[in-house]
Amino acid sequence: MLTIDLTNKVIVVTGGGTGLGRVMTEHFIRCGAQVVICGRRETVLRETAQALGPAVHAYSCDVREWESVDNLLSRVVKDLGRLDAIVNNAAGNFLAASETLSSRAFRAVVDIVLMGTFHMSRWAGAYWIENRQPGHILNIVTTYTDTGCAFVLPSASAKAGVQALTLSLAYEWAPYGIRVNAIAPGPFPTEGAWSRLMPGRDFEEQYKKRLPTQRYGRPEELGALAAFLLSDLAPYLTGAIIPIDGAERLQGAMFNYLAQITDRDTLKAAFAALKAATRKE
């Protein structure tokens, strides 16, 4: 039987305190890894580390800031003695009509998703090259990076940038033994994502109807794929963008359906309610 073995590997998961980042962390430690989870909310990180046990190490970090990333990864190398993989999972997303987006709103998402991924990748790549070590960068993109997507313009733009970064670095750093891949998850409902991206039960009913497998993704399916990609079972796998979505993307970009099922004013009201529910003014 093939088993995924990540024994002794040190893996850093950005946004690892909650949602799919936490799910991946659980899988990595089950395969023997030491996992550093990082994010902006220390309490959440501490709670997750406590719940998952001593193989999980919580560090606070704001991936939008180079100094914060520099500080985090220097400490990881010093405290844990090595660095094997980075999982760029931290993200920001919300539904909004694009003509209403402020400059700050667009930037808020781009800073986390694209700048954050760049900062982590830049630091780790330089470290591995300088130390003549192999390494792996695993980015989390979406199924709409090729198509664009209505009502999530900042995320579609930033994730398309992360996809370009993935492909660019995979080629450039292949001679150093650094693999760079991306997973493009489809519908995996987590509290963080669904509270921002599902404007209510009626919308969800419509959304579910378009799922060809008639079900959402199960978190463990994503965790298993991520663990496999980071393992020594996949040494020739680099420069890949791997969708895991039950073929949902083949119907068209994820949130385009919203424009088809109701009028724009209803949508804008639903988006405003989501914003109020998920954001402290």
> What residues line the site for ligand COA (CB under 6 A)?
91-94, 96, 102, 104-105, 108-109, 192-193, 196, 274-275, 279
Q: Which of 59, 127, 144, 207 is catalytic?
A: 144
Nearer to ligand COA, 92 or 135 (CB): 92
Nearest approach, Cβ of 64 to ligand COA (angstroms)? Answer: 8
Nearest approach, Cβ of 152 to ligand COA (angstroms)? Answer: 9
Nearer to ligand COA, 22 or 196 (CB): 196
* Distance in angstroms (rounded) separating the CA atoms of residues 156 and 254: 11
For the chain, the distance separating the N- and C-terminal CA atoms, rounded to the nearest angstrom, is 53
Nearer to ligand COA, 93 or 121 (CB): 93
Tell me, what amino acid is at 170?
A
Nearest approach, Cβ of 59 to ligand COA (angstroms)? Answer: 18
Among all chains, which residue has been given the structure tokens 């529910």? 277
Contact 229, 33 (CB under 8 A): no
The C-alpha angle 189, 191, 196, rounded to 5 degrees, equals 90
Residues 6+ apart with CB under 8 A from 75: 59
* Distance in angstroms (rounded) separating the CA atoms of residues 256 and 239: 28
Nearest approach, Cβ of 222 to ligand COA (angstroms)? Answer: 13
Other CB atoms within 10 Å distance of the CB of residue 78: 8
> How far, CA to CA in Å, does 27 sit from each of 63, 103, 223, 260?
23, 38, 6, 38
Q: What share of the chain is helix, strand, coil (3-state, %, to 5)?
A: 50, 15, 35
Nearer to ligand COA, 1 or 277 (CB): 277
What residue is closest to ligand COA based on CB?
A: 92
Nearer to ligand COA, 107 or 122 (CB): 107
Strands (DSSP E) contained in the chain are 10-14, 34-39, 56-60, 85-88, 135-140, 178-185, 241-244
Two structure tokens written together for 79:
């405290």
Nearer to ligand COA, 49 or 91 (CB): 91
Active site residue 144: yes
The catalytic residue positions are: 144
